[in-house]
Structure 1
Amino acid sequence: MHDRMPDDTYRRQVLAELREKSSQHTSSQDSHGKGTDELIYKLLEKAEQPNADSSKGIVEALFCTGDEAASLAESGSPHDAPIITEGQQQFRWSKGDRPIAQLFRRMGFLDKSVSVQIPSRSSTAQSYEVRKLSEVRKRFLAQDDTNDPWNILDMQNPVPQPIPSPLTGENCQLLPQVRNAVLMEDSAEMVVASTQEWNEWKNVLDWVLLSEGGHNTAPHMDSHGFATWITAQEGSIGFGWMSCPTEEERNSWTADPHHFTGGRWRYIVLKPGQSVFFMPGTIHCVFRVRQHQTLALGGHVLQWSDIRRWMQVVLAQIKNSAITNEDMRRSAPKYVLAVAKLVKARVEEGEVEQLGGEAAVTQFFASVKEFEERPRRRLPGW
């Protein structure tokens, strides 16, 4: 069930904190955090809670039991609404200590480096700095109040079996097969890829989202056309998205993603143990209250039944790099080639219906051809 009143209270608290932060801001320098906070404030002012009742119009969020979520993930029926469920993570934290503390114990060697988003960094510079895990651990365990909250990027996941149970069915296993196709080529034996090949493959199956309270993430699409799941572990996390955007709204956002405030924005607040799963191309943002650090586990999924939409999203992201959260120019061709090879094999095996039907397969390969024939821009150093 959707707990509407606490979600509304959370949104109002974030708005109040952003107003206070804006009034106290004395520096004229533009920063990544300042621009993001201003945009999140405008979106949260207009954001509403999603409709979950089909008798009241378009369903904008699907609040499901585990079995209902699994059925939706496996059915192949097209839908755009995020799926929200609870208690579906197989892994369990130990009792008696906060998950963030347990996370760092599981990380082991803390002399490794991670990228840390720091809001006060100038908007003309990169949004992140490289810091040691030991420094990150010390800061998070101290739990000091800060006006410049850190957000840890691309952190490896030390936790076993983090994926929610509804996403473990056959339809959601295209991405692991892509990885195997890249690393193993024609072998069906255990992976024996070279170090260089492993280094070229970025593990996107699961990762950690760690943030201090008050850090916000501006609207974006997740890269490479990935569908995404996020499960809150510690602290509550605000998740907002543009619901059912029209073609005009999507094009307007694409043209100016850092300032566009149109469209119908909806939000939920994930509590520990709750998961959200959203489709490729979902325009979404994240917001947090100041008082609590947050930890989430997340990962990416590709569905066999959704190859048509996936390829369309990849094309849009290649054409408009500002709309996504990662540079795709080197990696996207590898994904497209691997998925096309896997889809061709399934078609030859007579499994067209599992791919969304003949029309979906035809459109998929048409998009692949468009991708292959697109004008190529040379990268620096090539």
Structure 2
Amino acid sequence: MKRFFLLLTIFFTILTYSQDRKFKLILDAGHGGKDPGAQKNGCVEKEIALDVILQIGQILEKYPDFDIKYTRKTDVFIPLKDRAKIANDFEANLFVSVHCNSSTSPNPYGSMTLVMGLSRSNLNFEIAKTENAVIFQEDDYKKNYQGFDPNNPSTQIGLKILQEETLLQSISFASEVQNQFKNTLERKDLGMHQQPLWVLDATVMPGVLIELGFLSNLKESKYINSKEGRQNYAQVIALAILKYKNQLMETNTPLFEPKILTPVLIEEPKQEVVTIKDDPNYTTTTNASKEIVTEKKYKVQISFSSKKLDLNPSNFNGLNNVVLVEQNNGYKYYYGAGSTHEECKKKLAEAKAKGYKSAFIVEDN
């Protein structure tokens, strides 16, 4: 009987130790509910953040040595203080919050990862103000945050910096995230920055706030809002978490090779009015009171000249139906058009037979 109880004690000791060795991860989808976050170019930050967070979780839940908790899994509003409490009560090893950036200018783009600290630039301080401003949407925010004002730099300087070891771990993980963005996804790397963010200050474990990119930048917003783009972000963040866990806990959890997909980004059509008379290769339509030219897909360019020529066959070695387009302070002359490359090959042969040896097939933009 004594032997039985001894074995039982050893079993529960091993079981408890095994459970304690699990890597406790908090996954935090920024914003939610009445707080949509940034809304630009048809994108909503709270939806993107939740989608990426859930995909990260789906990847890591396959590993038995992870214990994962979410601050939200649906479109609900979670106050910052509650996000921090969830993480602290869980005694997590790492806090990962996903957001999207935005700017008043459409030009900035790129990914960055923030850790707790003092702002080093005006641009980054604006980001800190944006992420902290959700406090104003909470009931009794003055009581809960004891006079903390996201819009006042002097109150932010009063935030304590995390203990050195925790900060260094946060920086280490943030650097790995940025490495994945830069080298695996080939996104513009805006680096790791220290910021006075309330949610990172209130959590006692290493933590980061990831800004995937700028929704205010049209091209980047299309990448972030695509199914493939979100999947790419989720994969590389999950991989960075695995690497960090192995380093921190000295484990050898197998890594995976991300399957990076190329999103199909549909460019906006150029709303330009082009006037070309007697041109059989172009059609015109009207949209929102604008005349828009719809071009066939391929055509043969026979020459480019600074001189404008009359479109008579005699000026083009007998070729009929030559058209011109004014461009780059000159004139491009085209002969023939077709919906496929193959359709244009015959026209290209005719042009070369008439002496235009340097003629070539071009694809319309």
TM-score of the pair, normalised by structure 1: 0.22
As a proportion of its length, which structure holds more strand? Answer: 2
Q: Quick check: which has more Rg, 1 or 2? A: 2
Q: TM-score, normalised by structure 2?
A: 0.22
